[in-house]
Amino acid sequence: MTNNKNKVPKINMTNVTKSFGSDPVLNGFSLLINEGESLCLIGTSGSGKSVALKCLIGLLSPDGGSIKIDGLETIGQNKTQHEDLLKRFGMTFQFGALFDSLPIWENVTFRLRQKEKLTKRESKEIAKDIITQLGLSPQVIELFPAELSGGMQKRVAIARAIADKPEILLFDEPTSGLDPITSGVINDLILNSVNRLGATTLTISHDMASVHQIADTVAMLHRGKIIWCGSIRDINHTGIAEVDQFVNGKPYGPLTSNNTAISYSNQSETTD
């Protein structure tokens, strides 16, 4: 775990548990992230990384444990408190999750327009400004998500996440399905955005090149628990066979010795 005794951690998840039916996905999941830190959560497919992220932001309700933001417990909050909490987060989803029926400028300024009355012209100006900072042409704002490539959609998703200048940014596999060059560009954009905002960042990634590029700290999730957490500099010298296998992409080892992937595809939880 990352420790900083002088400060209250920005994010403090302790012994979080979450099951779908009889399948435990998170089983004593604990993670500390300090303010301004960029942490990458790694782990095999189906290990529960996205579930951990959704529990943190309140899209899923944990079965047990504690989740604190700036020292304040978030589990058991009422709807209004939860909505106030969400305003402090920006999140991108694995497949972008851009709103198909809205043009890019409305996607990017969606939250801003919920908060304050912006004219169409003001919204477009703001969207244009953010979109150009992320290396896209200003004309893109008039297009719809289906008209963009995968890489462009990821950039727009980042634009939407950072538009309201959140304190905490969550990225769920921001470079999955992209070529190495576009991945590098997206990682640069994440780094620049995070540095500009001074945000605390939690990123889920399978891509070790991305992890090396954007992480200060790395945590590995296995069987519902964090089995290692430390500086990115130490990732090749953990002495933990599971971490070693994952980091080096070895097909044989403890991660593949039995079927550890936990299926939670039958989840049917709604949160309203």
Partner 1 sequence: MIDLFRSLGIGLLRLCQLTGSVALFIALALRWSITPPFYGKQILKQIIDIGYYSLPVVGLTTLFSGMVLALQSYTGFARFSAEDTVATVVVLSVTRELGPVLAGLMVAGRIGASIAAEIGTMRVTDQIDALETLSTRPMQYLVGPRIIAGTICLPILVLIGDIIGVFGGYLVGIYKLEFNSSIYLSRTLEFLELNDVILGVIKAAVFGFIIGLMGCYHGYNSGRGAEGVGKATTNAVVSSSILILIANYTVTALFIG
Q: CA separation (Å) from 59 to 52, 168, 220, 232, 271?
A: 10, 15, 22, 29, 6
Instruction: For residue 57, give the nearest of 94, 13, 27 by alpha carbon.
Output: 13
Quote the least distance from Cβ 177 to partner 1, whole Å: 14
Residues that bind partner 1 in the complex, under the rule CB under 8 A: 54, 57, 59, 83, 86-87, 89-91, 93-95, 97-101, 110-111, 114-115, 160, 265, 268, 270-272
Give the shortest CB-34-to-partner 1 separation in angstroms: 22
In the chain, the amino acid numbered 27 is N
> 3-state DSSP call for residue 2?
coil
Q: Which is nearer to partner 1, 258 or 266 (CB)?
A: 266
- Closer CB to partner 1, residue 1 or residue 93? 93
Is 15 or 94 the residue whose CB approaches partner 1 more closely?
Answer: 94
Smaller CB separation from partner 1, 66 or 94 = 94
Phi, psi of 125 (to 5 degrees): -65, -45
CB of 89 to partner 1, least distance (A): 6
Structure tokens belonging to residue 98: 């851009």
Shortest reach from residue 63's CB to partner 1, in Å = 19
* Least distance between partner 1 and beta carbon 161 (Å): 8
Cβ contacts of 147-150, under 8 Å, gap ≥ 24: 148/104, 150/96, 150/177, 150/178, 150/182
Nearer to partner 1, 9 or 145 (CB): 145
